[in-house]
Structure 1
Amino acid sequence: MEAAVNQADTIDFSAVRWGSVEWTNLCTLYLRACDGRSPRPILGDTAAVDAVDRIDYDWARMRRSLRPGINQWLVAVRASRFDAWSADFLRRHPDASVLHLGCGMDTRAFRLHPPGEVRWFDIDRPQVIELRRKLYDDRDNYRMLGASVTDSSWLEEIPADRPALIVAEGLLIYLREPEVRALLQRLTDRFPAGEMLFDTLAPIGPRFSKLFTKGIVTWGIADARELQQWNPRLRFLEDAPGFAGSPRIPATPLGLLYRLVCATPAKRYDVLNRFAF
């Protein structure tokens, strides 16, 4: 799937407020672009590189703030795990529907090059989708939907006649447990079969968030397999620590640090999960 690119040569994003949700989306886009420009990229997100090149924003200030030489690798290894699981599902279901929940400015729909029959839906809050539409347009088999995932009405816009791949990277931890339960139930009720990919934090995650990030993380769970008790349709397939891709990090000191974390119980603080239903 190629991006239906908005034809403007340069797009002014200067109205994006520093520290806002939209700014956070630009941060991860920028870090993926940094990986894409590196001599030994992990994700190789050329679509992110193209997007950053077209956006007029204070990237120099963002570079000073984010220190991409440290942070780009973790963003890339996490995304590459979700990409690999997504690509595996699409090889087995080349006519699937894909729901990318909380898509932000992610370019997964374009960097995976899904089969032509795949229907892809990028879903996020209306203000995020409004920003995204400055870069991309809807096209055959690709749509952007502006809605809160906790609102049940948007799901009715998506046909339920195909297996579904549901990707919720960096999303569920910002919902409350009743909202997570309700969302998972709506999704598994809607589609005949599919897979769900998402990340979780340990229960201490919300407590850390109250200390360091103004409490924006609101849900944690010790073992995501517990979700099978919440929802009998969910079936655990596999998981991986968020740091599990650290051997691929070319920055040797940082790679060693991440590998040390993976050798301790702390590796279960941040987990990437794959479920079938």
Structure 2
Amino acid sequence: MKYKIEKNTVQETLVIPLYGRKMCSELYPNLYRDETAIRLMKEIDYDFSVLEKKSGNLMQRFGFLEAAMRQNDLAWEVRDYLKTHPNAAVVNLGCGLDNTGRACDNGSCKIYNLDFPDVIALRQQLLLAGEREQNIPCDLKDPAWFDKIDASGGAVFFASGVFYYFLREQVRELVQGMADAFPGGVLVFDAANRTAVKMIAKTWLRTAKIKDVGAYFAVSDAKSELSPWDSRLQVSSRGYMMGYNDLKDPSVSGFFRFLAKVGDNGMKMQIVKIGFGGKL
């Protein structure tokens, strides 16, 4: 039996990035491989014809590359933290149907996948939590979820494509709350400057009838803009297209490498890393 996904539902919004991760795996096999996405695509009953028609588009293929690099970068940061904190909590904020936490499993960490209740309900159907893993329904903006994370061995939090939909003040409040609750922990997430966020947001903002795009979270210089939020924060960033990988792979054209440089330098597409000062 395949799990049916209807059009124009919240569940459909999870299928689209899943399809992107599957396409990344096919187009850039030396750079990215998501076995979970490939498997889930076979278990879902959904009309992919519209997505398949667009997948030959040059910019769509670059979008798949963006998705691949973002997931790779976040996974790199998670694994880097686990080298010094092998028993840490690995927390996927706004997880959708992403399985990065399990892909980074070192055999002793604790994995938490957090998202809205209806998203977690679908996840429970398709991605049952494994050993040392929990799927937690919550609203990320409500700090009640802090108490559900066992950070006794450290904690590394990551968010992929999440904070573009938060107001700047909401991100600041969340980061300050996490600094209080998880000293010695690390948060990593993707961000971009105001121009890029306007491009990302144009469709859903129109649907939501939101006019004040400027209130949404955007970053140009992470260290100078975010460090003043709290004296305990250690902020750094790297370009997310080429900050971790030079993209010198046969599957990536010279034109795509050029676009990647524009993304990192012009749009300030970046992975932001925030360390929460203090000892565990």
TM-score above 0.5: yes
Matches of 2:200 and 2:44, distance apart in 1 = 31
Shifted more, 23-32 versus 101-110: the winner is: 23-32
Matches of 1:175 and 1:150, distance apart in 2 = 9
What residue in structure 2 maps to residue 58 of structure 1? 47
Q: CA RMSD in A?
A: 2.5
Structure 1 residues 24, 182: CA separation in 2 closer, same or farther (over 3 Å shift)?
same
What residue in structure 1 maps to residue 136 of structure 2? 145
Q: Deviations over 1:10-42 (max 9, x none)?
A: 432322x34x54323211111111222347342
Shifted more, 234-243 versus 159-168: the winner is: 234-243
- Counterpart secondary structure, 1:165: strand
- Counterpart AA for 1:93: H
Indicate conservation of the 8 Å contact 1:42/1:248, yes or no. Answer: no
Matches of 1:205 and 1:231, distance apart in 2 = 26
Matches of 2:201 and 2:28, distance apart in 1 = 38
Indicate conservation of the 8 Å contact 2:21/2:64, yes or no. Answer: yes
The number of residues matched between the two structures is 263
- Counterpart AA for 1:167: F
- Counterpart AA for 2:271: L
What residue in structure 1 maps to residue 154 of structure 2? 163
* Structure 1 length-normalised TM: 0.84
Q: Deviations over 1:43-70 (max 9, x none)?
A: 1111211111222221233222454544
- Counterpart secondary structure, 2:75: helix
Tell me which of 193, 199, 218 is aligned to 2:190: 199
Consecutive unaligned residues in structure 1, runs of 5 or more: 1-9
Identical-residue share of aligned pairs (%): 23
- Counterpart secondary structure, 2:247: helix
What residue in structure 1 maps to residue 259 of structure 2? 258
- Counterpart AA for 1:235: Q
Shifted more, 98-107 versus 201-210: the winner is: 201-210
Consecutive unaligned residues in structure 2, runs of 5 or more: none
What residue in structure 1 maps to residue 75 of structure 2? 83
What residue in structure 1 maps to residue 222 of structure 2? 224
- Counterpart AA for 2:151: A
Tell me which of 15, 20, 28 is aligned to 1:26: 15
Structure 1 residues 209, 69: CA separation in 2 closer, same or farther (over 3 Å shift)?
closer
Tell me which of 94, 114, 118 is aligned to 2:86: 94
Tell me which of 117, 135, 156 is aligned to 2:108: 117
What residue in structure 2 maps to residue 234 of structure 1? 233
- Counterpart AA for 1:33: K
Matches of 2:124 and 2:227, distance apart in 1 = 37
Matches of 2:265 and 2:63, distance apart in 1 = 22
Matches of 1:167 and 1:39, distance apart in 2 = 23
What residue in structure 2 maps to residue 247 of structure 1? 247
Structure 1 residues 201, 84: CA separation in 2 closer, same or farther (over 3 Å shift)?
same
Shift of 1:149: 0.2
Q: Deviations over 1:216-257 (max 9, x none)?
A: 772212222122110222102442244554624614254244
- Counterpart secondary structure, 2:126: coil
- Counterpart AA for 1:71: G
Matches of 1:109 and 1:119, distance apart in 2 = 9
